[in-house]
């Protein structure tokens, strides 16, 4: 699909299959609407008056004027009240238009998308490719008959102001890169566990490294992890036939190789059965998504390399599988982590924090500027924030505030939860330094408290994406969140 921006004020002269025109729910309409009204001898204003063309948010009406002065089809879309028009409303309008165009198999359009200048048109330009990609995404690698995906070929956006051209074009391009990164994350995350194991993640990482000279990829297998004393990480994978592999992707975009990097650590449980503390069978299939943190890191690294961001970034995919077996780790085991802190295993299903704690100790060697881990860590996070908000915790208020700001800017919602010292009581152990499960109450926070014991040497934030990384039920599939929010965060650095 091709996105273009054109500087023109005359709507009726545009050679296109279909014009997309914004309608305000109030009395005042744009000059574009007035021009079309003239060309149709007042038909449009009559239809607006009668309510057949509605200004209600997301309402669409397709018109075939077929007159001499106007040959194009026209898709009118309601934009609500001009004064309320923000990025969320713009997103709803774009979704409605794209769905209608795909349903009517219209392929070439010219759009007055920026007619409402109340919203930041740069942000809208960045969102547009992401919205289109989200609607047209399919995961049909394993379907024997693939349903063809309808798609647009040409989207031309009209602007009034020539000065905006280069910035808008740039944002459209960025939006396309972000859209591709999100789609890649979805596809890796959607892969079943019999295909996607830690080795698969490592191979994906290596392939990405081959595409970009700025990206160096190394993989640490079980022997290497053992040499580093990453015993908590290794314990989780012990019951699995698949080797635990930590994939490290180092991107150098800053001129100085020694610039402190931003570090991302993704939980990559390619399947989480719970281990000896086995999960109930209902819904266990969804635990193939327990590697969405790692898939997020992959997508972000792809975008960072394609955007050529002038910073250094290290992305880690902590690949591993949690299975019950004669060789599995057990409840009651005491593990000595890479940092030396000992952990009493209460529940082998609280495995994510065990994998992450060693990976978080490992990254100390980078002298990181900030470290962000991304993990489908706790079911409790779904209870707290539902499927709408990613949970944000950490040891640095400024970093947390920056992440929330990035989430608002990108429309990829996130909400902060507190992790003050009172919660630390819940992870005390009688026979080791800490336990790996702090009970039901505040489960998302006590999991973060556990991680906080391993992140004292740098600025750290933790994103719990248990509720946001995938959808269940009829629409089962990965969402690609929080790729957009993290790219925004890195772009703002």
Interface residues toward Mn ion, by CB under 5 A: 272, 349, 351
3 state DSSP class of 219: strand
Active site residue 353: yes
Which is nearer to ligand BES, 11 or 235 (by Cβ)?
Answer: 235
Among 78, 205, 352, 480, which residue sits at the site for ligand BES (rule: CB under 6 A)? Answer: 352
Among 351, 358, 373, 412, which residue sits at the site for ligand BES (rule: CB under 6 A)? Answer: 351
Residue 354 interacts with which of Mn ion, ligand BES, Zn ion, none, CB < 5 to 8 Å by class? none
Which is nearer to Mn ion, 351 or 373 (by Cβ)?
Answer: 351
Sheet holding 154-159, edge to edge: 2-7, 154-159, 108-111, 18-23, 73-78, 60-63
Nearest-CB residue to ligand BES? Answer: 379
Q: Is 464 in the site for Zn ion (CB under 5 A)?
A: no
Helix (H) / strand (E) containing 32: helix 31-39
Q: Is 243 in the site for Zn ion (CB under 5 A)?
A: no
Q: How far apart are CA 326 and CA 346, in angstroms?
A: 18
Q: CB 356 → ligand BES: shortest distance, Å?
A: 11
Residue 466 interacts with which of Zn ion, ligand BES, Mn ion, none, CB < 5 to 8 Å by class? ligand BES
Among 24, 100, 250, 272, which residue sits at the site for Zn ion (rule: CB under 5 A)? Answer: 272
Tell me which residues in 288-307 interact with ligand BES (CB under 6 A).
Answer: 290
Which is nearer to Mn ion, 109 or 380 (by Cβ)?
Answer: 380
Residue 347 interacts with which of ligand BES, Mn ion, Zn ion, none, CB < 5 to 8 Å by class? ligand BES
Among 120, 214, 229, 347, which residue sits at the site for ligand BES (rule: CB under 6 A)? Answer: 347
Nearest-CB residue to Zn ion? Answer: 272
Beta-ladder partners of 400:
none
Which is nearer to Zn ion, 269 or 357 (by Cβ)?
Answer: 269
Q: Is the peptide bond before 482 cis (omega within 30 degrees of 0)?
A: yes
Q: How far apart are CA 324 and CA 344, in angstroms?
A: 18
Among 113, 243, 247, 270, residue whose Cα is nearest residue 189: 270
Asked if 368 and 362 touch (Cβ cutoff 8 Å), the reply is no
In degrees, rounded to 5, the angle at the alpha carbon of residue 180 between the alpha carbons of residues 319 and 493 is 80
How far is it between the farthest Cα atoms of the chain? 86
Active site residue 143: no
Which is nearer to Zn ion, 96 or 323 (by Cβ)?
Answer: 323
Q: Is 321 in the site for Zn ion (CB under 5 A)?
A: no
Q: CB 352 → Zn ion: shortest distance, Å?
A: 4
Q: Is 266 in the site for Zn ion (CB under 5 A)?
A: no
Which is nearer to ligand BES, 312 or 446 (by Cβ)?
Answer: 446
In degrees, rounded to 5, the angle at the alpha carbon of residue 228 between the alpha carbons of residues 222 and 232 is 70
Asked if 298 and 317 touch (Cβ cutoff 8 Å), the reply is yes
Among 100, 290, 412, 464, which residue sits at the site for Zn ion (rule: CB under 5 A)? Answer: 290
CB under 5 A: which stretch of 57-65, 155-163, 287-295, 415-423 binds Zn ion? 287-295
Q: Is 352 in the site for Zn ion (CB under 5 A)?
A: yes
Backbone angles phi, psi at 243, to 5 degrees: -65, 140
Q: Is 275 in the site for Zn ion (CB under 5 A)?
A: no
Among 113, 215, 264, 380, which residue sits at the site for ligand BES (rule: CB under 6 A)? Answer: 380
Q: CA dihedral defined by 4, 10, 12, 17, rounded to 10 degrees?
A: -10
The residue ranges of DSSP E strands in 304-352, in sequence order, are 312-322, 334-336, 342-344
Neighbours of 420 (CB within 10 A): 8
Which is nearer to ligand BES, 380 or 400 (by Cβ)?
Answer: 380
Residue 317 interacts with which of Zn ion, ligand BES, Mn ion, none, CB < 5 to 8 Å by class? none
Q: Helix H segments across 40-164?
A: 43-50, 87-103, 121-136
Which is nearer to ligand BES, 230 or 437 (by Cβ)?
Answer: 437
Tell me which residues in 418-477 interact with ligand BES (CB under 6 A).
Answer: 437, 443, 466
Residue 252 interacts with which of Mn ion, ligand BES, Zn ion, none, CB < 5 to 8 Å by class? none
Q: How far apart are CA 251 and CA 110, in angstroms?
A: 39
Residue 295 interacts with which of Zn ion, Mn ion, ligand BES, none, CB < 5 to 8 Å by class? none
Angle between helices 397-410 and 483-491 (to 10 degrees): 110
Q: Is 58 in the site for Zn ion (CB under 5 A)?
A: no
Q: CB 230 → Zn ion: shortest distance, Å?
A: 17
365-376 b/e (C-beta count within 10 Å ≥ 16 → b): ebebbbbbbbbb
Tell me which residues in 267-286 interact with ligand BES (CB under 6 A).
Answer: 272
Beta-ladder partners of 376:
none
Select which of 126, 267, 288, 353 is catalytic. Answer: 353
Among 325, 299, 323, residue whose Cα is nearest residue 313: 299
Q: How far is CA 94 from its chain centroid? A: 19
Nearest-CB residue to Mn ion? Answer: 349
Which is nearer to ligand BES, 8 or 472 (by Cβ)?
Answer: 472
Q: Is 443 in the site for Zn ion (CB under 5 A)?
A: no
Among 207, 269, 219, 267, residue whose Cα is nearest residue 246: 219
Helix (H) / strand (E) containing 77: strand 73-78
Q: Interface with Zn ion by CB under 5 A: which residues?
A: 269, 272, 290, 352
Q: Interface with ligand BES by CB under 6 A: which residues?
A: 272, 290, 347, 349-352, 376, 378-380, 437, 443, 466
> Mind telling me the catalytic residues?
279, 353
């Amino acid at each position: 699909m091709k996105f273009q921006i054109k500087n023109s004020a005359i709507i009726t002269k545009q050679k296109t299959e279909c014009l997309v025109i914004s309608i305000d729910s109030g009395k005042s309409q744009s000059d574009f609407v007035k021009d079309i009204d003239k060309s149709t001898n007042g038909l449009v204003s009559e239809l607006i008056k009668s309510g057949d063309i509605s200004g209600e948010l997301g309402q669409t009406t397709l018109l075939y004027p077929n007159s001499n002065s106007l040959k194009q089809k026209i898709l009118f879309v309601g934009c609500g009240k001009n004064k309320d028009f923000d990025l969320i409303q713009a997103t709803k309008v774009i979704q409605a238009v794209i769905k209608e165009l795909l349903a009517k198999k219209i392929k070439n359009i010219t759009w007055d998308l920026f007619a409402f200048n109340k919203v930041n048109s740069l942000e809208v330009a960045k969102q547009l490719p992401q919205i289109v990609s989200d609607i047209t995404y399919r995961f049909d690698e394993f379907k024997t008959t693939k349903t063809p995906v309808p798609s647009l070929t040409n989207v031309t956006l009209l602007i009034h102001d020539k000065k905006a051209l280069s910035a808008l074009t740039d944002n459209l391009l960025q939006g396309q890169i972000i859209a591709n990164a999100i789609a890649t994350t979805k596809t890796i995350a959607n892969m079943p566990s019999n295909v996607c194991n830690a080795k698969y993640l490592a191979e994906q990482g290596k392939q990405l490294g081959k595409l970009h000279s700025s990206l160096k990829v190394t993989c640490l297998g079980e022997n290497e992890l053992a040499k580093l004393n990453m015993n908590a990480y290794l314990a989780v994978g012990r019951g699995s036939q698949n080797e635990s592999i930590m994939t490290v992707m180092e991107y150098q975009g800053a001129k100085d190789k020694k610039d402190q990097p931003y570090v991302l650590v993704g939980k990559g449980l390619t399947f989480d059965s719970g281990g000896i503390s086995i999960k109930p069978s209902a819904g266990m299939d969804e635990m193939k998504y327990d590697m969405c943190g790692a898939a997020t890191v992959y997508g972000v690294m792809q975008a960072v390399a394609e955007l050529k961001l002038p910073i250094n970034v290290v992305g880690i995919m902590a690949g591993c599988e949690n299975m019950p077996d004669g060789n599995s780790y057990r409840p009651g085991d005491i593990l000595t982590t890479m940092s030396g802190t000992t952990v009493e295993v209460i529940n082998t299903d609280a495995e994510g924090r065990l994998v992450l704690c060693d990976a978080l100790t490992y990254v100390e060697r980078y002298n990181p500027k900030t470290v962000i881990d991304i993990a489908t860590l706790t079911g409790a996070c779904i209870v707290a924030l539902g499927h709408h908000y990613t949970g944000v915790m950490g040891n640095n208020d400024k970093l947390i505030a920056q992440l929330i700001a990035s989430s608002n800017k990108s429309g990829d919602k996130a909400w902060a939860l507190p992790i003050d010292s009172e919660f630390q009581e819940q992870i005390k152990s009688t026979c080791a330094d800490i336990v790996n499960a702090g009970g039901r109450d505040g489960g998302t926070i006590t999991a973060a408290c556990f991680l906080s014991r391993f992140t004292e040497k740098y600025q750290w934030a933790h994103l719990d994406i248990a509720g946001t990384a995938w959808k269940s039920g009829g629409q089962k599939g990965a969402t690609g969140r929080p790729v957009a929010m993290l790219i925004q965060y890195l772009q703002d650095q």
